[in-house]
Structure 1
Amino acid sequence: MAARGKNNPYYRTREQLADDVYNVLNSDKLSLGAKHAVIFETTWLWTEIEGKYTGCQYWSKKACAHLHESETIKAKILRHDHVVPRNYIVKRFLYGDMMNSEEVYSFLKTNLVGCILLKSEDDYLNEIGYQRKMPSKWNFGDNIWSRYTEAEIDVCEIIWEKKKGSVLENT
């Protein structure tokens, strides 16, 4: 899903996305399928709110070698991954204990994190059974990076200069 710019009439802030999830979960007029659709879309929008590649805060160290490639090249060799797979987030909301609006925001902020990987790293996660799964004993509240740790994928944090879309700092 392409990021929606702030001038797009459908753009929502992270706070608005969290409020939408809270309101959808508390609606008795929406079907389970409608609730799933809203939460599922939120999982994409949340992690790409600053951009799918440029703007994403976390990159694997191997992917960092491609920070300055064009968006077309990035789309061929990189993958925007959800550190906690989206299906875990969706199921937690649909089948877990209810949360108040502040808890929804905090939960999303803590668990819904994007990370840019090389396609080969994404393929490796799939090979070892972690493309859409967390380690078997993992629970919310545990280290969200555990599947990357087990796959030996090292991650760095990128601090972007907002106005230029360029790297300000790479830690």
Structure 2
Amino acid sequence: MNRRKKENLEGEMVRQKLMEDLSIILNTDGVTEKVKNNAINFAIYNWTEVEGKYEGNEYWSYAAYDEFAYNTNRAYKLVHEHIVPRKIIRGKIVKSSKKKSSVIISVI
């Protein structure tokens, strides 16, 4: 397992498609705010899971990586957290006037 970022073209394609789909949902008239918020939450949460959730990815802190790599007694689980709270990211996406996938990617 390597904490460093690996070139992952498949992962980047998944992220791009995720943002394109989110952009469509956010720009479609008649979609309720609840559905839009659920879609934003889904996209934010899954963005960091593209390269792995349970066995490390580029976003894990060094402390989390070391804990996972060197502690074989895993009676507890590490918690998936975001450096910037999802509430802030969601707010920036909602407030952006252009909800294009490239704009959403820059926010996330």
Q: Normalized against structure 2, the TM-score is what? A: 0.72
Higher strand share: 1
> Within 1, Cα distance between the matches of 2:67 and 2:88?
29
Please, which runs of 5 or more residues in structure 1 have no aligned partner? 1-11, 109-171
Q: Encode CA deviations 1:20-77: one digit per residue, 9 max, x unaligned.
A: 111111010201111001111111111111221314213333323223356x928x24
- What is aligned with 1:100? 100
1:97 partner amino acid: S
Contact 1:25 1:35 in 2 (8 A): yes
- What is aligned with 2:85? 85
Q: Which moved more, 1:59-68 or 1:13-22?
A: 59-68
Shift of 1:92: 1.5
Alignment length, in residue pairs?
95
1:91 partner amino acid: G
Percent identity over paired residues: 31
Residue pairs, 1:1-171, within 5 angstroms: 13-68=14-69, 73=74, 76-108=76-108
Higher helix share: 2
Structure with more contact order per residue of length (Cα contacts < 8 Å, sep ≥ 6): 2
The CA RMSD measured in Å over matched residues stands at 2.4
Equivalent position SS for 1:81: coil
Q: Which moved more, 1:49-58 or 1:21-30?
A: 49-58
Equivalent position SS for 1:73: coil
Equivalent position SS for 2:84: coil
